[in-house]
Structure 1
């Protein structure tokens, strides 16, 4: 009863406005840095650091039920996901490597390579998360709240892995500066779809928060909950850039 009253008090204190403000701040940070990277003002590492910082805040203000092990696994997953998107570590996915000669002949194929590599890495991470999650739950002596524990663990891992998609958003700046009417129309549609998805996820998070049951001992779980759509938007960012690249090349 005390836990329930505590959560209701926190919801009434923060409200939906608090969730939306946190999301807005995170979006402004990541989108601004992506634009600066696309313009060559700052290196891609700026987006990487900001994205991982958002993951850390999400895990510190964890809005789910679970243990410290769940959060550590999610952090490791996020780091691996970002590393596989931005470094040579992604080549362990066995995704066909583009040789230097191929890259010289077909720049679009070379640019597409990191996208395919990360997609393969993302699937592998999901499989590993599922296997590890089931194994951990089966190893428990007392399997109380089994479904909740497994679903929350997998949710945290998937959300954390998705953040790596943000590193692909700067590629959109190539098309912003193209000057082509066809490209501008397509870019407007792609950004419009992304905006709709972002708004839909924000609206869904407001509804989900009313039914959420985070650990009352966690500091500001509403902040962590607000960041879930922002982290998942990494998949949307990836899809937006990949769509433009497939249609128009580089």
Structure 2
């Protein structure tokens, strides 16, 4: 797999300012209904979503994507904001958790949960993966998922409690306009629950989001194998 990154990641200020005014905790009804069955996406369908995201954002990363992927996931996401210690306004410090409605290979209909922490390094606003269980512990427990390592910043889970755990490696976010930002993230797959408990692998997540309301969509393409 070859993925070209243009620069270290920087969040668009309008995104943080818009969401930074929301100081309420994450809605505890974040667990999404999964009664409706959805067909698993194919490689061609996932690649089509990837290309739509690139077209919408004007291909900001100049991507060269190559590799053999056996896991595909498309998601519609909703981000939130939780102020961090010392927060006095603006974009940071704070957490950016979110949920997603997912269609995933090997799962079909699924939910996703994620968390990031934003902070300043000099004049640059950066983020790192934050423990997803610190925000969604109750929701995950209701799905039968517990003892999630802190290095897991996002996970995808089906209605039977089978989940795949993702560790954030690197992010790049590029502002496109006041209502559109584009991101690319490298991830590692470090296990899960149920039939995915021994999964290992690497992948890339490509997405766009609206910095005004936190709504977005993304596609994940990964190479998975069963570990020991």
Pair member with larger Rg: 1
Instruction: Give the number of the structure whose residues are more often helix, by fraction.
Output: 1
Larger strand proportion of the pair? 2
Query: Quick check: TM above 0.5?
Result: no
In the superposition, the TM-score normalised over structure 1's length comes to 0.25
Larger RCO (CA within 8 A; separation ≥ 6)? 1
